[in-house]
Each structure stands twice: as C-alpha cells, then as structure tokens.
Amino acid sequence: MALEILMPALSPTMEEGTLAKWFVSEGDLVQSGDLLAEIETDKATMEFEAVDEGVIGKLLVAEGTANVKVNTAIAVLLEDGDAADVKVPPAIPAVVAAEVTAPNVEFLTSAAPVTSTGTRIFASPLARRIASDSGLVLADITGSGPKGRIVKADVRTKIAPSDTLTAPETARTIPTSANATAVEAMYEGRAFKTVPLDSMRKIIAARLTEAKQTIPHFYLRRDIHLDNLLKVRGEVNKTLDARGIKTSVNDFIIKACALALQKVPTANAVWAGDRILQMKASDISVAVAIEGGLFTPVLLDADTKSLSQVAVQMKDLAERARNRKLTPHEYQGGSFSISNLGMMGIDNFDAVINPPQGAILAVGAGKKCPVVLGDGSLSVATVMSVTMSVDHRVIDGALGAELLDEIVKSLENPLSMLV
C-alpha cells in the first residue's frame, strides 16, 4: 500500500521547518537508511533517512518550501506490489516512513522495536520517544494508527496527568493573523516593512513569553573586581599562545559558574513541573547571538574541564551555532545559563530564565571605576556588574545569594580556578 512520508519533529519544540533539498526523485527505489531529504529547522539543518523500503511515488513538497508543518505529508512511498502509476488517494494512511539521521539524539532512532517473539512493533518516532521517556513498554500499548501503528495519542493516554512534566507543544501561543491585522491597521498611512516570523523567531517569542508569564523571577546583583582576573588571563594566554589557544573573560565566567554549582549543589537544579531535578554535573548553557535569533549551546561537565578546554570547546560550539550546525543534544538541557552583553558595551541588564533551568547570569561590561579600598582609601579598579535571574520555585533568595557569592569569589580570585 502507499504510505505517506511526513515532515518529522526534529526537536521537542519544532512545529514547522523548511524542506531544503531532496536527495531522491519520483520513481527512485529506496531502502531503509537511504537519505531522503535535508530539513532546516529553527535550530539546525539535518538529514532525513528512510525507514521503510519502497519506491518514491510522488514528491508532495518542492525543494525550498518553508513553513512546512510537522506531520504534513511531504512524499508518498509505494511498497512492494504497488503499481508505479497508482493514483494517490485523497487521504492516505498517515504512516511515518522516514526519520532523521542525528547522532546521539536519544528520542530519534531508526531501529524498529519488536515484541518478545520477534514481531515488529510499528510506532512513530515521536511515540517511541515519549514511551521511552515515560518508561512505557511499546508492546503494552495498542496502536490506533494505520496497520495498528502506535502514534503519540496512544502513548499519551497511558501517561497519567501527573507524569507529564512539560507543557504540550500545542500550548505555545503565537499571535494570530487577526491580531497582526489589527496592529497593522493602527499604522495605516505610515510606511513600514512586514517581516514574516521564521521558525526560530516564533520559538523565541513563544518560549520567552511562557518564561515571563509562568516563572516567578527574582534578581540578585553584584559588582565584581576584575583586575586580578585580567592579569591571570594575560599570563595564561602567554602559556597557551604556542598551542594557538586564547582564553576569554567569558571562559573564566563559565568555569566560575560551573565550580559554584558544585559548591552549592542544591542550586544546581531545574524545574520539572511537579518536582525539582538536582543535577550532579555542571552543564552550562551559553547564549550565542546569530542572525535572526540566538542559540544556547551547552558545555557539558564544565566543572571538570580546564580553562583551555573550556576555551577550545566553547569556540567550537559558538562557531557551529552561528553556522546552524549544532545537533539538538548540543543545545538542549543544562541547568544554568550565561548571557554576556558586556562585550557589546552594555553595563548591566536582566536576562530571562531559560526554562526549565533554575537561573541565568547576565554579564555586563568591565569598566574602570573609582572604588573604596578596605583601608578607606580611594583607588581605581575594573568593575563588572552581573545580575542573576532566579526561578523562586527552584532556588530561594538565600540559596541564590550563596551561589552568586561563590561565583564572585572565583572570579575575584582566579588562581583558585587553576588548581
């Protein structure tokens, strides 16, 4: 029978994508594992491979088509016995016949599950991922899709409401065209250019709106004296020069935050709806600005890495983020974020928490300022202002103050981070 190949969800937040390129043509014979297409999401460009064998009967979406909704049919696959000239019926059973080649992405897998007797279990990739995350056995679930295929709704019905820790994708609200029309009417007679929202901007808008509406933010502010750090950084960079490595102030900040989370482990936590998850490792997300938006690649186990390792790995993540070459597991997760606008001349600002994380550090510019020393005399020091936005559901005020104090101690005594 003819099967629909559907636009896949390449990440938990993906709602639509661009079909950038087809690797097959109508009439081509494909086997499991063959590359079918290249898909661009709001975060990355990824390849898409066949799961079932058959002949490409029809390509339903042209190359370069943007804003293709997840689960939209993009092609038709004819299985063995189907005539090559078969006419595609108006409503073909919605069977996912392809998945994504994305190394190390746990919720996408091309290996079909089987029962204890070796019988193949037909299930969509999203259904498999939800079942795996929820500890459910696919063999215990009855599929309602074509050929008894298990789909997302079948798995959801097995999950108790209290077990669902994240809001469903459909809960994210994007302004409707009616709202847009009303706004445009306000500016009738004035010249303006309409800029359509791409996938990245839609996700940013939805996530930040959700964060500000649902997370009880509070803010902690400190000034940090940087002169010792700048001196140590200069000496470190001299020793690393022969290896072509150069550390930045941001690398020291990443390391300081990672160590602080180990010293205050109860603050190394994320909000999970009806519980708090206290993380063991210090996985630090770092905001990287790109054209049209930003990424927050995650530096895993930052507390165990040397400053030179932090510098090298962060440079690689930032470069691939700007080229949109990160895979989902490289920008999802983390328990703490850093957003540094100091390099752009911003003195201080308040950052929005990146859910489900518990806190984010907003870093301002280091500037020469008059300071009063311990003996009461006046001097000049390089001072950097930081603000930590904290989720009060996860971290209380005193705990947040303790965490920020540990960050300040490391940055003002940078040699402690080298031993």
Active site residues: 392
Please, what is the angle between helix 249-263 and helix 307-322, to 10°? 110
Tell which residue, 335, 246, 329, has the closest CA to residue 282.
335
For the chain, the farthest-separated pair of C-alpha atoms sits apart, in whole angstroms, at 91
By CB atoms closer than 10 A (0-12, 13-18, 19+), residue 375 is exposed
Measured distance CA(129)–CA(135) in Å, rounded: 10
Burial class from Cβ neighbours inside 10 Å (0-12, 13-18, 19+) for residue 305 reads buried
Question: What DSSP string runs through 134-158?
Answer: HT--GGGS---SGGG-B-HHHHHTT
Q: In the Cβ-directed half-sphere of 181, how many Cα atoms lie within 13 Å? A: 3
Q: How many residues does the chain have?
A: 419
Distance CA 297, CA 279 (A): 18
Asked if 288 and 295 count as a contact pair (C-beta separation under 8 A), the reply is yes
- Could you give the CA distance from residue 363 to residue 341 in angstroms, rounded to a whole number? 6
Quote the crossing angle between the two packed helices 307-322 and 227-240, to the nearest 10°.
90
Closest CA to 76 of 9, 2, 149: 2
